[in-house]
Amino acid sequence: MSSTGGFEVVRDPLWNNIGIDAQALAVLDSAPFQRLRYVRQLGHAFLVYPGATHTRFEHALGTYHLARRATAMLGERGALTDLPPEEINLIRLAALLHDIGHYPFSHALEEAGLPSHELLAREQLRHPELTAALATTGMPDAASRIADLITGTDRSPLRGLISGALDLDKIEYLTRDARMCGVPYGTVDVDRLLHSLTLVEGPDGPGIGLHEKGVSALESLLFAKYQMYRNVYWHHAVRSATVMFKRIVRGAIADGVLEMAWVARSTDEALMEAVRARREVPLATRLRRRQLYKRAVDIPASELPAGAGAWLADDPHLTAQVEDRLAREYGLPVDGLLLDFPRKAAMLTGEVPVLTRRGVVAPARLSIHQVADELHTSARRLRVYVAEPAHVDPASVQALVERSGAEIRARLGEEPPLVGGA
């Protein structure tokens, strides 16, 4: 960091110079924010893409930088004249703090059934060091307002910059993740998007929208997200490591070895050290040495009926029970079979109001949400991972996944095998 005229300048490989004002610096120096230096952005993706060791810390700085750029551009066009300066500053700080509640290893632990990192942010924002830093904003309820912005419940006209279809977090992580992984998939027309941002009047009052000239840039964001999920976030080896990690941590919490509250405040290495201390769990040793489970079944979501396998995403406890049962039926060791069917609720969530050249506000054209749903289905795959070679019948697995959670629970109490051919 270098100091220039009352604020600091950070050199960043993605955005070049990031200017940080005094209030943001106070947040930066707090213990909860410094923890983000030791939480990788992409979890176990570094086992596949060696450069993917960047952290939530630098991603948060980048999101703050984009918030400064976006609010400056909106201000230059006169869109923020009715907003007090502290409100604009609050948006910038919310961008900086949007991941303050994040777990170690990306979103894996939320998939494992732990509370969302957005909910944990409210607790982290009560930390005395953050409370003191946010007191300098001049808003007595700054921490509460920032928590509401992160969870998408605040009524600020600029709330869409923090939580929404066009939030700056999404723009930043796609661009940074692609750069650090060394892949060409996350290309987003960032400048065009930022220059196209505008305030539009909606049913709930003014909010962030997009000028019609930026729709093609919005499309670039959608396709970048799809490509990154298909090729990086849901890469088969990344998902193998992820399901192994989820199984390890869920077991440690269930056995009372780890407390959920400690896990939420931990870092990647602290959590893995605690896990590796359980020498009786060979799964942890395998993960450390990158001896990843292999695919026994790999079925595209497009070959499954709509809604199939919902229990795999919604009920981690039931999923673990099914994994245990299938491992026994296939003669595999304990923890020897793991299921994976990741879900992202939508590739592009929420409506994007578009200001046309005639001054009319309308939803984004091109049936963009329909396209998003199709891309989501194209990126998803149902996979069965095994610790050692085993013949797992894909048709039987597909038939099992097409059953409802209630049917699965009923069958778990019966003697016949869960799947045929076991």
Strand partners, 363: 353
Residue corresponding to tokens 């201000």: 75
pLDDT of 366: 44
- How much is the average pLDDT of 242-255? 93
Q: What is the mean pLDDT of residues 119-144?
A: 91
CB atoms within 10 A of CB 15: 18
Strand 294-300 to 16-20 pairing? unpaired
Give the residue ranges of DSSP H helices in 255-393. 260-265, 268-276, 282-288, 310-314, 316-329, 368-379
pLDDT at 358: 77
**Residue 316 in contact with residue 250, Cβ under 8 Å?**
yes
Section 378-406 average pLDDT? 94
- What single DSSP character describes residue 235? -
Q: What mean pLDDT is predicted for residues 203-215?
A: 88
User: Is the pLDDT at 136 greater than 80, yes or no?
Assistant: yes
pLDDT mean over 24-45? 96
Split at pLDDT 50, 70, 90, the class of 347 is: low
Residue 159 makes CB contacts below 8 A (sequence gap 6+) with 149, 152, 207, 208
Check: pTM over 0.75? Answer yes or no. yes
Owner of token pair 């054209």:
365
Is residue 129 very low, low, confident or very high in pLDDT (cuts 50, 70, 90)? very high
Mean pLDDT of the chain: 90
User: What are the pLDDT digits (tens) for 210-233?
Assistant: 999 998 898 888 889 989 999 999
Please check whether residue 316 is in contact with residue 336, taking contact to mean a CB–CB distance below 8 angstroms.
no
Which pLDDT score, from 0 to 100, does residue 361 have? 74
- Tell me the one-letter amino acid at 3: S
Laid out side by side, the sheet with 16-20 consists of: 2-4, 7-12, 16-20
Q: DSSP class of residue 233?
A: I
Q: Residue 369: is its pLDDT beyond 70?
A: no
- Token pair 């984009």 is found at 66
**Rounded to whole angstroms, how far apart are CA atoms 12 and 55?**
12
In the prediction, which pLDDT does 279 show?
Answer: 67
Instruction: Please compute the mean of the pLDDT values over residues 290-296 and round it to a whole number.
Output: 97
In angstroms, the CA 352 to CA 112 distance is 31
User: Where does residue 412 fall: left (phi above 0), alpha (psi -120 to 50 degrees), or beta otherwise?
Assistant: alpha
Total residues found in the chain within this entry: 422
Residue 187, phi then psi, degrees to nearest 5: -70, 120
pLDDT > 90: percent of the chain: 70
Q: Lowest-pLDDT range, 32-41, 116-125, 175-184?
A: 116-125
| Beta-strand runs (E) in 212-319 | 294-300
Rounded mean pLDDT, 354-375: 69
* DSSP string computed for 39-89: SBTTGGGGGTSTT---BHHHHHHHHHHHHHHHHHHHHHTTTTTTS-HHHHH
Alpha carbon 248 to its chain centroid, in Å, reads: 20
Nearest CA to 156 out of 211, 73, 77, 95 is that of 95
Q: What is the pLDDT of residue 377?
A: 83
Distance CA 211, CA 220 (A): 15
- Residue of 417 and 127 predicted with greater confidence: 127
| 64-68, 200-204, 346-350, 404-408: segment of lowest average pLDDT | 346-350
pLDDT digits (tens, 9 = 90+) for 59-118: 999 999 999 999 999 999 999 998 999 899 999 999 999 999 999 998 999 999 999 888
Domains of the chain, each with CATH number or no CATH? 2-235 (1.10.3210.10)
Q: How much is the pLDDT for 376?
A: 82
